[in-house]
Structure 1
Amino acid sequence: MADKTVDRGPWTGCAVMFLQSLCPGVNLLSLFKDREQGKFIVFKVIKLTLIDSAGGLGGYEILKVHDADPFLGVEVKFEDVSACQQFLESYSSGAVQQSLSQHACRLLTLPHEFTVETQLKASTHILDLCLDKLELCLQHIHLSQPERLRDEEIDHLEEQLQIQARGPAPQPTPITQEECPVPGNCFKFQNKVFEDRMLTAGDVQSFSNGVGRHWKHVGRALGKSCRALKGLAIDNLAYEYEREGLYEQAYQLLSRFIQAEGRAAKLSRLVKALEDCKLTSLAENILEIQPRE
């Protein structure tokens, strides 16, 4: 892979990712076109994959999901060169395809492994043919400027995601009725009670995949109650693992937290830190993919 670009000025570009399921009986295009619930699930798979591969929630937006039979086309506008670069690196390494497969298998409740064929284009350029030339791919995407605003259908799907992330609206209760206390081994998130537990390797991996450039903010939030993450600890981690990239920096952050706190390194503390950093979608993702005891 080429050296990382140092240009961090105003930057936009557009790319289209084409997706086709290779699993018999699972047609992403048909799911998106024919069923309201299927449309939402496929969109959520795409959105979670972008969160994993582009370094979080910012720096890009989905403009349109369209019929490119036999493929499903996903048009993405990048508004930040760093997010675009991280997506390209994830795509080149196969991480995008892996994330697509994992989220699709989970959300579509498939009994078998899900495999997907992908193709990435910017205008007429097939980027799969030049993924080893990062700067050239960035240039093609930058020259392919978006020609439309976000589709109204995408606005609706994004709104559905936000509603789901917030959870069901709380029901009014009589003033005289006391709220049920949360058990000591549990915690509340979005009006739902979850059993608290020590952080697992799966939690660390999900966090590292999804937090992107925001890992420092989460580290400082955790550092309010963790001596090992106070002072220059976060900056030292960033410097020590700069060459390994954002995933490794985030991974080492949580690993250090777990090592320092031991049995006190609980899921509730990570979720609270994510809430403090306004990363509730990532907290929801971590809670949803973990098996509840």
Structure 2
Amino acid sequence: SLPDSTGSANGVDMLKVHCSHPHLIVQLRFCKRENCCRFLRSYREGALQKSLQGHLQLSLDTTTVPLKVELKAGSEHLDRMLKDEDHCLECIYREKPDRLPDEEITELEECLKSLSTNNNVAVKGCSSLPYPPQGSSLPPQHTFIFQGQQFDNRTITLDDHQKFAKSVSKKWKQVGRSLQKSCRALRDPVIDNLALEYDREGLYEQAYQMLLRFIQSEGKKATIARLIKALEENGLVSLAEELLGLHSNEDCS
């Protein structure tokens, strides 16, 4: 569907695929302005949605697939401004990513190739979440020291994510700005925009969305060591200890 919508097989790169039930989020990077313009027109006219429906019906061997599509650039909802193509392009350019596609994308593409040649093939090894299996870690040499103890520098898990959002409270912005130093996806004014966008939902959702943005952007580089360092910088040692299991029975403040 993407080559159809951009007019070129190399017109767009998939950088990240993330499942947050019931949503499937696909992060894209356009190679040229004309590819992006053609994509916007295809989306506005409904051609992209129609193509997606057709491919899904073929792949899933079904006659109907409920599908709702939303287009965003950062916190901007482009569906509201599709008639103003220049404004859409400006919003997309501001969010222009500088990262390479995740390693999982290559794996996913291979899985999809297998699926397209045999609808009965069980797709293995394709994760639907941005988190690794519980307890997974990077190679042993990738470790870090916290309070004199050595820990595996694993990627952030869903459990870490939820504990962080529950306990960080009003300091989520400060932690975000610490992570911002090495993560362009959190550069200004992203953090302030998240605060406004999720103001009604409260502190938990604001913190959750900030860390989600970090995880989605950094992929396998979204490690626990980076989060622990950001927590230490902002005096949240108790929460860091909680994430590392040093006092799992105590409340974090």
Task: Quickly name the TM-score band, shorter chain normalised.
Answer: 0.3 to 0.5
Higher relative contact order, chain-length normalized (CA < 8 Å, sep 6+): 1
TM-score in terms of structure 2 length:
0.43
